[in-house]
Amino acid sequence: MTREPLPSFGRLSGVRKVFDRRNDSPLVAIEDVSFDIAQGQLISLLGPSGCGKTTVLRILAGLTEATSGTVEIRGRPVTGAQRDFGVAFQAPTLMPWRSIIENVLFPMEVQGRKDGAARDRARELLKLVGLEGFEQVYPKQLSGGMQQRAALCRALIHEPTLLLMDEPFGALDELTRMEMNDLLLDIRRLTKATVLFVTHSISEAVYLSDVVLVFSKRPARIALRLEIDIPYPRSINVRYSEHFNRLEQQASIALGVNR
Amino acid sequence: MSGQNISRIVYPAIGILLIVLAWQAYIVAFRVPVVVMPPPTKVMSALAADWRLLLVESWTTFVECVYGFALAVIVGILIAVMVTASRGLSLMFYPILIATQSIPKVAIAPLVLVWFGTGIESKIAIAFIVAFFPMVVDTATGLRATPEDLLDLARSLKCTRWQIFWKIQVPSALPFIFSGAKVAVTLAVIGAVIGEFVGSDSGLGNLVLSANAQVNLPLVWAALVFLSILGMMLYAATVVAERILTPWVESASQ
């Protein structure tokens, strides 16, 4: 597969985040993080737990304000949440009082676009993630993995240009997680959305991404930018190739695991 | 009807029957005079003879309870919304609200009678005063307990404050609101009867007092039976409303 240079989607420059703490010195969560996001790329932010990679994502989602530095999307500086972004959180974060389809439709409802077409799309997405027939049940009647799939549909319902995912599969068992990885790649192929994916799993990051940004321990800095030159579509066999292992090794060295 | 539902009716019925039998046996065995405690047979004949009167008086008390409870729900929720929406209001009035709760409601009742007269209004007011506090506390707790991750979701979608309130805070507080309402509805019955005791010419509370003054103990007990049925019906109605309005809570426990 030959790659043409992709048009730019956005850029973070010199982003720094300091949390003020009561009765303690300020906590530097992120120290000078800059990277480019190309249109349609899937970029993983890989780092140890608590390193501040989630904070980077939250800044992009408009849930946390950067102390300094800028975030530019399509050439314009952004602050605050964007309606054309979709966010998938660590927990499914479904509303227990809404049926699955009503949860998926929530972003459309908020934007006043909950029409027949939106319903059709919600049904399509649920079918795509294997939740056909579960439209009318309450979230508590589903397993954790199924809830996370529904949450993924909700993040996609308004056809976001940027999908922000914060360790969405972290709480799932290994097998479900690998299934969800393939599902994400399918979705990404179909929607062509740009994806930023936070994870602490090396193999997940390498398997999914065009680019893996390896973060250092707190305060977060980018220790390594790793291009994953394995062509899509990727399948389970890729995980056992020598090249894949070498990429994993490079990432783990950057993480400071191999010494 | 499932076996579980049948046992829910059969077991309490057996329990009541056993207590009534024990009561009758005790009174016969120890020759307890009717003025001290009437036997179940006399209470039942009072129920049979005076059911029309009992129903009429029940209706009065029922209306007082329903209005008092409805006011407690509406005002209680409004106060809870105000104290949770504004930190200033909360700091200003919440401690005073809690302080007023240490005053025994019976002590306020004569004042309420002075303000509202001996008609139904004073009973509604007392039922309201007794019942509204748990509504405030539980609703405020529910509104404050909105899961942080749902608020994050709402912010990421740029929900307006109004949308956050109606689409997230209120539904997530609903189970709390209902647990407050279940306490409030039983308190409303107590409040209405306090009001009738302090001054009235109708209602089950009034009937208890007047029958007692005429040493008609079986009628006193019959009125108590009606009061207890009234309380249970109001509670059951609240539970039914809870099941209808918060169906997800039930489905979670299945």
Q: In angstroms, what separates the C-alpha of A94 from chain B's closest C-alpha? A: 8
Q: In angstroms, what separates the C-alpha of A226 from chain B's closest C-alpha? A: 29
Dihedral sign from CA coordinates of A82, A83, A88, A93: positive
CATH class of A1-84+163-259: alpha beta
Task: Tell whether A113 lies on the interface with B, counting CB pairs under 8 A.
Answer: no
Confidence label for A22 from pLDDT (cuts 50, 70 and 90):
confident
What count of other Cβ atoms lies within 10 Å of the Cβ of residue B98?
A: 12
Residue B205 contacts residue B230 (beta carbons within 8 Å): no
CB contact under 8 A, B150 and A62: no
Chain B partners within 8 Å of A81 (Cβ): 155-158
Nearest-by-Cβ selection for A63 from B152, B168, B252: B152
Domain with CATH 3.40.50.300 in chain A: 1-84+163-259
CB contact under 8 A, A89 and B153: yes
pLDDT digits (tens, 9 = 90+) for A34-85: 999 999 999 999 998 888 889 999 999 989 999 999 999 888 888 888 888 9
Dihedral sign from CA coordinates of A218, A222, A225, A231: positive
The span from the CA of A168 to the CA of A153, in Å, is 12
Task: Tell whether A96 lies on the interface with B, counting CB pairs under 8 A.
Answer: yes
Chain A partners within 8 Å of B252 (Cβ): 96, 138, 140
Closest residue by Cα to residue A219 from A51, A15, A59: A51
Residue A136 contacts residue A98 (beta carbons within 8 Å): no
Give pLDDT tens digits along chain B (254 positions): 566 778 888 999 999 999 999 999 999 999 999 888 899 999 999 999 999 999 999 999 999 999 999 999 999 999 999 999 888 988 998 889 888 888 888 889 999 999 998 899 999 999 999 999 999 999 999 999 999 999 999 999 999 999 999 999 999 999 999 999 999 999 999 999 999 999 888 999 999 999 999 999 999 999 999 999 999 999 999 999 999 999 998 754 43
The span from the CA of B40 to the CA of B30, in Å, is 15
Chain B partners within 8 Å of A61 (Cβ): 156
DSSP per-residue letters across A94-128: --TTS-HHHHHTHHHHHTT--SHHHHHHHHHHHHH
Characterise A74 by phi-psi region: left (phi > 0), alpha (psi -120 to 50), beta (else). Answer: left
**Residue by residue, what is the 3-state secondary structure of A211-241?**
EEEEECCCCECEEEEEECCCCCCCCHHHHHC
DSSP B166: I
Domain range summary for chain B, segments of one domain joined by + = 1-32, 39-253
CB contact under 8 A, A85 and B167: no
pLDDT digits (tens, 9 = 90+) for A223-243: 999 999 989 888 888 889 999
Q: In angstroms, what separates the C-alpha of A175 from chain B's closest C-alpha? A: 26
pLDDT digits (tens, 9 = 90+) for A143-158: 988 999 999 999 999 9
What count of other Cβ atoms lies within 10 Å of the Cβ of residue B80?
A: 24
Contact pairs from chain A to chain B, CB under 8 Å = 59
Q: With b meaning 16 or more CB within 10 Å and e meaning fewer, what string describes B53-62?
A: ebeebbebbb
Q: How many residues does chain B have?
A: 254
Portion 25-64 of A in contact with B at CB < 8 A:
61-63
Chain B partners within 8 Å of A111 (Cβ): 157
CB contact under 8 A, B251 and A140: yes
Q: Cβ neighbours of residue B250 under 8 Å, at least 6 residues apart?
A: B243
Chain B partners within 8 Å of A89 (Cβ): 149, 152-153
Residue A97 contacts residue B174 (beta carbons within 8 Å): yes
Q: Which residue has the higher pLDDT, B1 or A21?
A: A21
Query: Which chain A residue has the Cα nearest residue B171?
Result: A97
Confidence label for A258 from pLDDT (cuts 50, 70 and 90):
low
The span from the CA of B180 to the CA of B139, in Å, is 7
Q: Count H helices and E strands in chain B, helices first.
A: 11, 0
What is residue B252's predicted lDDT score, i.e. its pLDDT?
A: 45
Task: Tell whether A88 lies on the interface with B, counting CB pairs under 8 A.
Answer: no
Among A113-127, A162-176, A209-223, B240-254, the least confident range: B240-254
3-state secondary structure of A44: strand
Superfamily of domain B39-253: MetI-like (1.10.3720.10)
The identity of residue B243, as a single letter, is R
Query: Which chain A residue has the Cα nearest residue B150?
Result: A93
3-state secondary structure of A256: coil
